[in-house]
Amino acid sequence: MKFSGKNVLITGASRGIGASIAKVLASYGLKVWINYRSSHEEADRLKEEIEAAGGEAAVIGFDASDEAAFVDAIKTIVQSDGELSYLVNNAGVTKDKLAIRMSVEDFESVLRANLTSAFVGCREALKVMSKKRFGSVVNISSIVAESGNAGQVNYSASKGGMISMTKSFALEGATRNIRFNAITPGFIATDMTNALKDEIKQSYIDKIPLRRFGDPTEVAQTVAFLLSDHASYITGETLKVNGGMYM
Ligand code: NAP
């Protein structure tokens, strides 16, 4: 995979899909900045694993839903490396409940964690990438942005917002050679989906044409493609990685 840039920040990279993205991008020669919120030990272990495999990594702890902390983190990266070439807005949370039991606080807290954090990341990336007239951003949305899901009014709204926001950022970044794309993963085997009861998991698998949950690496390789020079004419796009569950 060919990359003209040199470094990448991945939010929520201590575990799950984010950790896989970090490993895959490091294997393609990028310096990866591993962001975590609370899983410091996991982030440190991931850095060691990447370095043991010959890659370059740094750990940067901050809460992606804290605007000032996110802005400071990007400043730290630019001070250290002279630029930020790529950003993956991956940090995300769920707070599932049926809509009739969902408070405005339950709704807004998920919007803030998933959508507002990605907005701040895209905005700051656009500012620093504009100076080099180069950059690429991938936002991790979800299949439920496209299909909807009972019990996830808040989560699906946050992920749907990411898709339309990505298109608007793509329009603002295009004249400066900065691309913005989104990915909508289906059900991927991570802590987030391990929390589901076995019968619920099976009911989802029955609806997936490829008859299995995805592996985080399968999302990570798609992120790598969209960030890379091979996707140089793709912007404002949303790629599904869902085993055919929603076409
Ligand atoms: P996960 O296993 O629950 O891991 C979530 C990661 O996000 C952790 O590293 C966590 O860090 C971090 N995080 C959460 N809130 C954060 C914040 N405010 N600031 C910084 N980091 C934060 O989740 P996952 O399954 O890998 O999901 C990754 C992304 O893919 C999410 O956006 C999710 O919505 C999306 N997605 C997942 C699936 C799936 O089936 N798994 C499907 C579609 C979309 P700490 O541990 O340090 O808190």
Phi, psi of 20 (to 5 degrees): -65, -40
Ligand 1 centroid, distance to 93 Cα (angstroms): 6
1 belongs to a structural domain: no
Q: What are the DSSP calls for 138-160, one per residue?
A: EEE--THHHH--TT-HHHHHHHH
**pTM of full prediction above 0.85:** yes
- Write the pLDDT tens digit of every residue in 149-192: 999 999 999 999 999 999 999 999 999 999 999 999 999 999 98
DSSP 89-109: E---------GGG--HHHHHH
Asked if 29 and 5 touch (Cβ cutoff 8 Å), the reply is: no
44/133 Cα distance (integer angstroms): 32
At residue 87, φ and ψ (nearest 5 deg) are -135, 135
Q: Which domain holds residue 28?
A: 7-238
The pLDDT assigned to 195 comes to 86
Burial of 48 (0-12, 13-18, 19+ CB in 10 A): exposed
> Distance between CA 132 and CA 84 in Å, rounded?
9
> Ligand 1 center to residue 18 CA distance, Å?
7
Number of domains into which the chain is organized: 1
Burial of 82 (0-12, 13-18, 19+ CB in 10 A): exposed
Residue 84 lies in a domain: yes
Residue bearing the CA closest to ligand 1, atom 31: 92
Rounded mean pLDDT, 112-123: 98
Distance in Å, CA 100 to ligand 1 centroid: 25
In a domain, 180, yes or no: yes
How far does residue 171's CA lie from ligand 1's centre (Å)? 27
pLDDT, average across residues 51-68? 98
DSSP 3-state assignment of 34? strand
Mean predicted lDDT score pLDDT of the chain: 97
pLDDT surpasses 90 at 35: yes
Show the tokens assigned to 167. 């298109």
35 lines ligand 1 (CB under 6 A): yes
Q: Is the CB of 158 under 6 A from ligand 1?
A: no
Whether 243 is in a domain gets the answer no
CATH number at residue 119: 3.40.50.720
Q: What pLDDT sits at residue 192?
A: 85
Q: Is residue 246 part of a domain?
A: no
Residue 78 pLDDT class (50, 70, 90 cuts): very high
CA 201 to chain centre: 23
Specify the pLDDT at position 108: 98
121-139: average pLDDT? 98
Binding site membership of 156 for ligand 1 (Cβ less than 6 Å): no
Asked whether residue 206 is assigned to any structural domain, the reply reads: yes
Domain membership flag for residue 245: no
| Smallest CA separation from ligand 1 atom 46, residue | 39
Q: Is the distance from the beta carbon of residue 188 to the nearest atom of ligand 1 less than 6 Å?
A: yes
Atom 10 (ligand 1) nearest CA? 12
Q: Of 28, 36, 155, 204, which residue is the catalytic one?
A: 155
Sheet containing 31-36: give its strands across: 56-61, 31-36, 7-10, 86-89, 135-140, 178-185, 238-241
Whole-number pLDDT of residue 46: 98
- Give 48's contacts (C-beta < 8 A, 6+ positions apart): none
86 in catalytic set: no
Q: Which atom of ligand 1 is nearest to the CA of 117?
A: 18
Q: What is the mean pLDDT of residues 133-159?
A: 98
The response to whether residue 142 sits with its C-beta less than 6 Å from ligand 1 reads yes
pLDDT digits (tens, 9 = 90+) for 216-237: 999 999 999 999 999 999 999 9
228: Cβ below 6 Å to ligand 1? no
Atom 41 of ligand 1: nearest residue by CA position: 188
Whether 39 lines ligand 1, by a CB cut-off of 6 Å, is: yes
In a domain, residue 199? The reply is yes
Question: Within a 10 A sphere around the Cβ of 17, how many other Cβ atoms?
Answer: 29
